[in-house]
């Protein structure tokens, strides 16, 4: 059942929390996505079947949460996730981040190193405001304050604001050592045209952790939502938990 975190002076945040054995699995959706996507629901069903604790959430301006999407930035969504995590969960955490959620999971792990004991990235997209926008796009964002881009994997259009771009540029990670020491698993489709597989390799090299595995999925696209992709996600999360 969807509930809401009330925060004085800030948008209410929608969430679904499941009691169970730890570590608590926290699913972090991608840019403009919400907690009702196929990967989030598949993992939640697995958590229910295995008695695992799990938190799903909507960032401000997304899904059922309050707020205006175009007025939010990466920092805001990181802080939203931290507010929900700090208020609703206790003990160790395993973060699962999809696309931009993979960037947020890294930022959250840096903020809460004492609690985060494992990470699973699904087409993780850290620094996409840097490698994902060419000079023409940056110039348009500077001039107009936003840009609309058609998604490569469906017919929808996403809006990126100058405020979001600035927030992303202030949180770049890939060109230095990422101070994360917990085990990390990175799932990435070889046919991902949104986040190149090379980003998974760059991320693996940048992480300080000695326990990083990159799993490449043949014919997998950016969404990684086919039945076999979802099965791999659940298997990866289960194996990582068992190894901790």
Q: Is residue 191 part of a domain?
A: yes
Which member of 58, 65, 222, 229 is catalytic? 222
199 burial level (CB within 10 Å; 0-12, 13-18, 19+): buried
What is the total count of domains within the chain?
1
Whether 225 is catalytic is: no
The domain in which residue 73 lies consists of 3-128+169-243
Which member of 58, 79, 127, 192 is catalytic? 192
Q: Is residue 147 part of a domain?
A: no
Q: Is residue 134 part of a domain?
A: no
Tokens found for residue 157? 């259009």
Whether 99 is catalytic is: yes
Q: Is residue 27 part of a domain?
A: yes
Per-residue pLDDT reduced to its tens digit, 60-96? 999 999 999 999 999 999 999 999 999 999 999 999 9
Whether 192 is catalytic is: yes
CATH code of the domain covering residue 52? 3.40.50.1820
DSSP letter at 69?
G
Per-residue pLDDT reduced to its tens digit, 102-155? 999 999 999 999 999 999 999 999 999 999 998 988 999 988 898 887 766 566
SS3 for 166? Answer: helix
Which member of 65, 98, 99, 167 is catalytic? 99
Q: Is residue 161 part of a domain?
A: no
- Whole-model pTM: value is 0.96
DSSP letter at 133?
S
Q: Is residue 71 part of a domain?
A: yes
Task: Give Cβ neighbours of residue 38 (< 8 Å, ≥ 6 apart).
Answer: 223, 225, 230
Give helix then strand counts, H and E, for the chain.
8, 10
Using the Cα atoms of residue 228, residue 78, residue 58 and residue 87 in order, give the sign of their dihedral: positive
């Amino acid at each position: 059942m969807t509930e809401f975190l009330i925060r004085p002076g800030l948008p209410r945040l929608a969430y679904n929390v499941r009691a169970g054995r730890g570590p608590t699995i926290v699913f972090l959706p991608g840019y403009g996505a919400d907690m009702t996507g196929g990967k989030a629901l598949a993992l939640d069903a697995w958590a229910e079947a295995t008695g695992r604790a799990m938190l799903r959430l909507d960032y401000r301006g997304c899904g059922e949460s309050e707020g205006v999407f175009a007025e939010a930035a990466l920092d805001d969504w990181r802080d939203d996730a931290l507010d929900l995590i700090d208020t609703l969960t206790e003990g160790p955490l395993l973060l699962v981040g999809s696309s931009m959620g993979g960037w947020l999971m890294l930022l959250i792990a840096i903020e809460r190193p004492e609690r985060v004991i494992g990470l699973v990235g699904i087409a993780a997209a850290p620094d996409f405001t840097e490698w994902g926008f060419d000079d023409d796009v940056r110039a348009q964002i500077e001039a107009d304050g936003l840009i609309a881009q058609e998604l490569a994997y469906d017919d929808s259009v996403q809006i990126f604001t100058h405020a979001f771009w600035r927030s992303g540029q202030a949180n770049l990670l890939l060109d230095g050592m990422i101070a994360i020491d917990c085990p990390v698993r990175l799932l990435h489709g070889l046919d991902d045209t949104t986040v190149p597989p090379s980003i998974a390799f760059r991320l693996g090299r940048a992480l300080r952790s000695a326990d990083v595995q990159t799993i490449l999925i043949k014919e997998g696209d950016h969404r990684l939502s086919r039945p076999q992709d979802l099965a791999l996600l659940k298997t990866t999360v289960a194996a990582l938990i068992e190894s901790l």
